[in-house]
Amino acid sequence: MQSNEFTNELIHESSPYLQQHAHNPVQWYPWGDKALQLSKALDKPILVSIGYSACHWCHVMERESFEDIQTAAAMNEFFINIKIDREERPDLDNIYMEAVQILTGSGGWPLNVFLTPEGLPFYGGTYFPPETKYSRPSWKDVLFFIHDTWINRKQDVVVQANKLTTQINSISESFKNNISIPKEKEITTSFSDDFFLQLRNKIMDQADSKFGGFGKAPKFPQSFSVRFLLMYSHFYKDEIAKEHALFSLTALLNGGINDQLEGGFARYSTDDQWLAPHFEKMLYDNALITDALCDAYKISGNEIFKKGIEKTLTFCFDVMQNKVGGYYAALDADSEGEEGKYYIWQQEEIESILQEDAAFFCKYYGVEKKGNWEHTNILHVKTPLATFAEQEKLNPDACKLRLENAITKLLEVRNKRIAPEIDDKIILSWNALLLHTFCNAAATLQNKLFMDKAVELYEFIMNHFTDDGIIFFHTYKKGEKKHLAFLDDYAYLIKACIALQEITGNEKYIEKAKLLSEFVLENFKTTTGTLFYYTGINQTDVIIRKIEIYDSALPSGNSVMAENLIYLSKIFEKNEWEELAQSMLLAVKPYTEKYPATFAVWASTILKQYKGLKEIVVTGHDCQQLRAEVLKYYTPNMVFQSSNVEKKYPLLKSKEYKNHGLIYVCENFSCAEPIDNIKDFEKIMIC
């Protein structure tokens, strides 16, 4: 346990990660003018250490080095030490992560970077052990080496820093400059069926046909690739792509990466079989995976996906929701200083709790006497419930009920354990992702609870992340909003507003999406006007305004903005927005073609645009039920509006508004004859 003998400048910060370091003997500062000016005044280089509260190796390096008095003394003597929560300041993390990747060929957290007093990076790495091992130098050796270099070869350091910064900037600017100006209908002429087949094949080349997912351990969910395959299979009737996507999601649901008792997905699996996760649970993963589960349920109707949606979102309600609204960022991987301790079980412990049901439960969840992971057990499912029930000669419903009763008993015991710490800051972008997921789940399952939760979360965001409804902040905690919002924050929130207007029919949400899009166009657009910077024009404490285009753990703000602009261009008849979005799609074509798994959101948006958007309108005084039935159907290339009376929007003009609902299927504002039932709608959409 950490002593309070020492206190540093982080004691005044609200971030749980920074608070974790507030009593290190290291004289940490938060990022800001005080530390930066002190570096210049004392002519000391800056050591920036970046991590996040759920990061296992961040905790390890803290215990080994940052709590060591001798190590701290060297850090305090030689450097101005700054701690950054990467989730609070992803803009800074993006810049300095790229520096380390250029220097070392890899990255990760904790991220430790040395800067000149001007904030320019010149050396860095990730985890450094206290003694030389793992083919890594010791942290003390690094400290003394950098200090010696700064004292004796400062000019070389400055030259290196300038070169590295120029390289980072040139990589970002290359995205901005490598653009095409679209001609009329250029999306349809620049892409082809063969182009998308190549994307599909490249993604499927990495498919793990044995265990699901893609590639080898460590394995991440890659929900964007899964959703692309589902969309591709929808348009091209590709059963192989569809089955692998559904198989992958099933494997995630059954694996140890999914908390089989309470729900909620861990960040990634450390093995090929999805058994042993890195136990941290991130809000964004649970939102993004649930979006994919919604697609899967719409396409397949398989109850396992419905249960997965409900259980994951219930986990968010029960564990991640702040009592005043909004949802926390993450749960730590560790508890009591041990990774995964909260989640694992010994067979004897289960036997003592479940008694006569223990053998039955252990068989279903793969529990072994000797353990299935490091001499203990992670619950996972190897046999589908229906098959297991047949093997046990039980009715499937009776089998399900018996397992659910056992889960309730085990949860009662587990809830008495010391739980992992919660990172209780509320992040706008991650909450916007969850807001979109609530809308998707409400549409998919026709569940009013999820709709109510979506409206509730929207109101929380509007009441706590902004003063004027336009300028937003990135984080909120205990009455304080901090850090101007980034492109991701706005892009995800705009997309969520679009989804919210779909499920409610309330025009205020689409008007908010338009207003926020106009703000992004004014404050984030690059000088060429084709892509968007990650930071707005008022963000002044970064050395570079980077352009982020990769769909990695989170979708690129640029890819989401392209999708938003296309959708809103149809709602508001703003052709210039569609042209801008097409420019964006064409700009990333070479990258998407070469690395489709890393540009999978882009790929999906391009595919929708290539196949042509369907403008679906539901009208009528009693349109609510018909609207719900349309939204339950898988139509990935749909722009949707509904209303019980005629309104100003182009899609809602010149339509009939009768007592019963009508569905209009349109393209380029030209509509077929309206229909009044979902069966005819499905027939039209299949054609």
User: What does the DSSP assignment read for 475-538?
Assistant: EEETTEEEEE--HHHHHHHHHHHHHHHHHH--HHHHHHHHHHHHHHHHHTB-TTSSSB-SS-TT
Task: Please give the structure tokens belonging to residue 603.
Answer: 């790929």
Give the pLDDT confidence score for residue 1 in this predicted structure. 44
pLDDT at 487 over 70: yes
Pairing outcome for strands 46-51 and 111-115: antiparallel
Q: What is the mean pLDDT of the chain?
A: 94
pLDDT at 568 over 60: yes
Contact between residue 125 and residue 104 where contact means Cβ atoms under 8 Å apart: yes
Whole-angstrom distance, CA of residue 496 vs CA of residue 350:
42
pLDDT at 2 over 60: no
Contact between residue 365 and residue 496 where contact means Cβ atoms under 8 Å apart: no
Instruction: Please tell me the pTM assigned to this model.
Output: 0.95
Q: Per DSSP, what are the bridge partners of residue 484?
A: 473
In the predicted model, what is the mean pLDDT of residues 368-396? 95
Distance of CA 318 to the CA centre of its chain: 20
Give the pLDDT confidence score for residue 174 in this predicted structure. 76
pLDDT at 142 over 60: yes
Whole-angstrom distance, CA of residue 530 vs CA of residue 277:
39
- For 346-351, which contacts have Cβ atoms below 8 Å and span 24 or more sequence positions? 346/371, 346/376, 346/377, 347/371, 347/377, 349/413, 350/377, 350/410
Give the pLDDT confidence score for residue 178 in this predicted structure. 60
Provide the pLDDT confidence category of residue 176 given band limits of 50, 70 and 90: low
pLDDT at 597 over 80: yes
- Asked if the bond preceding 30 is cis, omega within 30° of 0, the reply is no
Indicate the SS3 state at residue 622.
strand
Element (H, E) at 121: strand 121-125
User: CA Rg, the chain, in Å?
Assistant: 26
- CATH no. of 9-176: 3.40.30.10
End-to-end alpha carbon distance in the chain: 65
Q: Please name the amino acid found at residue 647.
A: K
Task: Please give the structure tokens belonging to residue 192.
Answer: 């082809």
Sequence length of the chain is 687
Q: Which residue has the higher pLDDT, 670 or 223?
A: 223
Pairing outcome for strands 614-619 and 480-484: unpaired
In the predicted model, what is the mean pLDDT of residues 270-281? 96
pLDDT at 359 over 50: yes
